[in-house]
């Protein structure tokens, strides 16, 4: 037994944990994992073509710019994932001091598309990368694929690179070698967004370049369409349940469609229709997972500024002729995005919107079963906003390296839900592993301001947490009931930074030591930028409440503190929370 963040207990029995993790793997995935463990990643391959050529001079529509976390700082300095760096050269490309995720983004080269570098400077960096990286982390499949996108966009953007025939030939030869390496090294062992991204990038390369191997790269379109059908649910949500990865993959789908529109005769049969249909469904689902400010909810591994904004994706899709639901699922629109109540039943989310209130709830478990590496213990958790102002929000994600921040971001105590008997909902371990999983069911509702869902934690199979959400124009009500044996409860309401929180009234309760605990209390939340906006949260009298300072990770590498309402109790099996506007 070990203690997790917030005092939550984690049961980790090494052999049992591993068995509970690997038993969900697909056969091909497990075989690929074994091969990788024995032999590692295969070395770079040659495409065997000394003179590949561009098959198109420009895309059908302008590409989207790099995401907001990619920032030029002047000269040779840039920022990725909130970390500043100077453009490396020679052996400095191999540095990993900022962790593997930063190294991936460094080698993806999306930052080379930023303003701030001249065409000659970009060319110098690309040639240095080719000379300095005969192997290494930059040749892992994921950064290789995303680098193909970045290079392809540079090669087909007027003025991005010098008009130099020798330079173009050198870059295209290196591009072809990378595309062949990726095509032969698909991440079967990881599946999910990595495999789908690999396939998007290989097909992108086959559409962009004419070479000895490009027909084989385009032939990957069949597998790409199969993965799109498998990973993008009928409701439009991506199987990993992360709004951030969903948005990133949608941009990849649109990038490939962009090249198909530019040279439709090169597109394999069915590819255009498959891409356009997937993009249409994905855009609608993504908009349903946005607040009134037009930005994503932070469920699962998700952060701001890592993927394109939903509004920008909508504009890109429109330029490419993707059919979109202009009316949205409800009576109106907010900031050009969907409005109204709806549910993404296969993906595991509900959206309840009435008047100025919007509640987004996670009503699914870790997914997909064979690769839940981006899942959190967020079953029955919710985010809540009022008139476009976020009030209750998820904790987000700071990093992927194993450690306290990674554990904290995934823990039950970091989400707006209830922990039972000090146990996590799922058996989390390492940075991306899940052993035992909860059973989560959307029982009813999701389209009329009401939803009901249940969660049975992995280590408490005899205890069921049932939560009912009700949203109307007057406010929000959340009703919790615990069915089965229970010793203690810990309820959390993480409040978005920018609100001042005050506990009022109630009888003195048993204090955990901070002197601010009350039972039967109400929390009054005043928005600091809009003092007239005041919300009362009527807290369950069955629990003893206090305010903690909790971590908030709105994006990778960014951390702040914010108030968290925490209620604890013993022997109680029901609780009701009401939220209303008073100012």
pLDDT, one tens digit per residue, over 56-74 is 999 999 999 999 999 999 9
Task: Indicate the pLDDT class of residue 2, thresholds 50, 70 and 90.
Answer: very low
Longest Cα–Cα distance of the chain, Å, equals: 80
CB 202 within 8 A of CB 217: yes
Instruction: Extract the tokens encoding 536.
Output: 């009362």
Percent of the chain with pLDDT over 90: 89
CA-based torsion, 246, 101, 83, 116: positive or negative = negative
Q: Report the pLDDT value the prediction gives residue 5, as an integer from 0 to 100.
A: 42
Task: Indicate the pLDDT class of residue 507, thresholds 50, 70 and 90.
Answer: low
Query: If you count DSSP H runs as helices and E runs as strands, how many of each does the chain have, helices first?
Result: 13, 28
SS3 484: coil
Task: Indicate the pLDDT class of residue 519, thresholds 50, 70 and 90.
Answer: low
User: Stretch 34-47: mean pLDDT, rounded?
Assistant: 94
pLDDT of residue 494 exceeding 90, the answer is yes
CB 418 within 8 A of CB 8: no
Task: Give the C-alpha separation, 87 to 75, whole Å.
Answer: 9
User: Stretch 542-568: mean pLDDT, rounded?
Assistant: 96
Write out pLDDT tens, residues 97-148.
899 999 999 999 999 999 989 999 999 999 999 999 999 999 999 999 999 9
Q: Look up the pTM and report it.
A: 0.94
Is the peptide bond between 368 and the residue preceding it cis, with omega within 30 degrees of 0?
Answer: yes
pLDDT of residue 336 exceeding 50, the answer is no
Task: Enumerate the domain spans of the chain.
Answer: 2-12+341-581, 55-188
CB 135 within 8 A of CB 44: yes
Task: Give the C-alpha separation, 303 to 394, whole Å.
Answer: 10
pLDDT of residue 3 exceeding 50, the answer is no
Task: Give the C-alpha separation, 545 to 569, whole Å.
Answer: 9
CATH architecture for the domain at 2-12+341-581: Distorted Sandwich (2.70)
**Partner residues linked to 86 by β-bridges:** 77
Q: Report the pLDDT value the prediction gives residue 10, as an integer from 0 to 100.
A: 45
Write out pLDDT tens, residues 71-89.
999 999 999 999 999 999 9
Write out pLDDT tens, residues 387-406.
999 999 999 999 999 999 99
Task: Give the C-alpha separation, 169 to 139, whole Å.
Answer: 20
Q: Report the pLDDT value the prediction gives residue 516, as an integer from 0 to 100.
A: 56
Q: Report the pLDDT value the prediction gives residue 448, as an integer from 0 to 100.
A: 83
């Amino acid at each position: 037994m070990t203690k997790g963040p917030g005092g939550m207990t984690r049961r980790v029995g090494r052999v049992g944990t591993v068995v509970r993790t690997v038993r969900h793997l697909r056969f091909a995935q497990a075989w690929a994992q074994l091969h990788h463990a024995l032999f590692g990643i295969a070395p770079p391959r040659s495409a065997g073509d000394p003179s590949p050529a561009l098959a198109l001079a420009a895309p059908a529509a302008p590409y989207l710019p790099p995401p907001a976390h990619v920032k030029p700082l002047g000269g040779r300095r840039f920022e990725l994932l909130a970390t500043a760096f100077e453009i490396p050269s020679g052996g400095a490309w191999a540095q990993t001091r900022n962790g593997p995720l930063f190294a991936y983004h460094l080698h993806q080269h999306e930052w080379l598309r930023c303003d701030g570098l001249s065409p000659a400077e970009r060319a110098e960096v690309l040639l240095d990368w080719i000379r300095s990286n005969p192997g290494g982390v930059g040749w892992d499949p994921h950064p290789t694929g995303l680098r193909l996108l970045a290079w392809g966009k540079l090669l087909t953007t007027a003025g991005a690179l010098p008009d130099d025939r020798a330079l173009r030939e050198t870059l295209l030869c290196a591009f072809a070698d990378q595309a062949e390496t990726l095509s032969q090294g698909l991440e079967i062992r990881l599946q999910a967004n990595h495999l789908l991204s690999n396939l998007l990038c290989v097909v992108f390369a086959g559409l962009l370049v004419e070479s000895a191997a490009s027909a084989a790269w385009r032939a990957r379109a069949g597998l790409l369409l199969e993965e799109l059908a498998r990973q993008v649910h009928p409701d439009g949500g991506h199987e990993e349940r992360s709004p951030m990865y969903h948005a990133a993959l949608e941009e990849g789908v649109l990038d490939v469609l962009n090249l198909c529109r530019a040279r439709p005769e090169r597109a394999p049969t069915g590819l255009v229709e498959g891409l356009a249909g997937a993009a249409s469904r994905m855009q609608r689902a993504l908009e349903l997972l946005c607040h009134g400010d037009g930005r994503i909810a932070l469920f699962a591994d998700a952060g701001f500024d890592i993927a394109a904004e939903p509004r920008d994706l909508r504009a890109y899709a429109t330029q490419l002729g993707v059919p979109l639901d202009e009316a949205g699922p409800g009576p109106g629109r907010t900031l050009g995005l969907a409005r109204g109540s709806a549910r993404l039943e296969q993906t595991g989310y509900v959206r309840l919107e009435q008047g100025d209130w919007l509640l987004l709830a996670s009503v699914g478990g870790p997914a997909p079963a064979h690769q839940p590496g981006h899942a959190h213990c967020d079953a029955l958790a919710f985010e809540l906003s009022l008139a476009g102002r976020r009030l209750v929000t998820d904790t987000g994600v700071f990093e992927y390296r194993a450690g306290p921040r990674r554990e904290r971001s995934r823990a039950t105590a970091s989400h707006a839900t209830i922990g039972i008997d000090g146990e996590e909902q799922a058996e989390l371990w390492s940075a991306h592993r899940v052993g035992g999983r909860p059973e989560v069911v959307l029982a009813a509702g999701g389209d009329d301001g009401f939803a009901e869902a249940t969660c049975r934690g992995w280590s408490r199979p005899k205890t069921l947490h049932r939560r009912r959400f009700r949203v109307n124009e007057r406010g929000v009500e959340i009703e919790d009931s615990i069915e089965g044996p229970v010793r203690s409860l810990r309820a959390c309401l993480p409040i978005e930074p920018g609100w001042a929180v005050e506990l009022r009234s109630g009888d003195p309760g048993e204090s955990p030591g901070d002197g601010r605990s009350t039972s039967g209390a109400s929390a009054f939340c005043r928005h600091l930028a809009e003092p007239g906006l005041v919300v009362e949260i009527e807290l369950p009298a069955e629990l003893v409440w206090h305010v903690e300072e909790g971590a908030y990770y709105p994006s990778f590498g960014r951390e702040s503190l914010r108030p968290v309402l925490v209620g604890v109790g013993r022997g109680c099996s029901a609780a009701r929370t009401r939220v209303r506007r008073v100012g």
